[in-house]
Amino acid sequence: MLTLADVAEILDVTVPTARSLVRSGEIFGFQVGGRGMWRVESKELDAYVEREKAAAVARREALSRD
């Protein structure tokens, strides 16, 4: 399990950006405990990174066809 701080560090973004990615559903996460701390499974973060990589490849291929 990863905290938002962990996610932010791995992606090299700010904690508010990581929180936004989770709240928007781009990265699946869930809240635990009385204070509602967000947690993200490593496999969910890996899936997000793979989706972003695939999107980047698709954009690059689309640009090269133009």
Mean of the pLDDT values across residues 3-11? 98
- What lies within 8 Å, CB to CB, of 12 at 6+ separation is none
Alpha helices in 1-66 (DSSP H): 4-11, 15-23, 42-65
Tens of pLDDT along 13-62?
999 999 999 999 999 999 998 888 999 999 999 999 999 999 999 999 88
At 36 the pLDDT is: 87
Which residues form the domain of 57? Answer: 4-65
Residue/partner pairs of 56-59 with CB below 8 Å, 24 or more apart: none
Give the C-alpha separation, 58 to 62, whole Å: 6
At 30 the pLDDT is: 96
Residue/partner pairs of 18-27 with CB below 8 Å, 24 or more apart: 21/48
Number of domains observed in the structure of the chain = 1
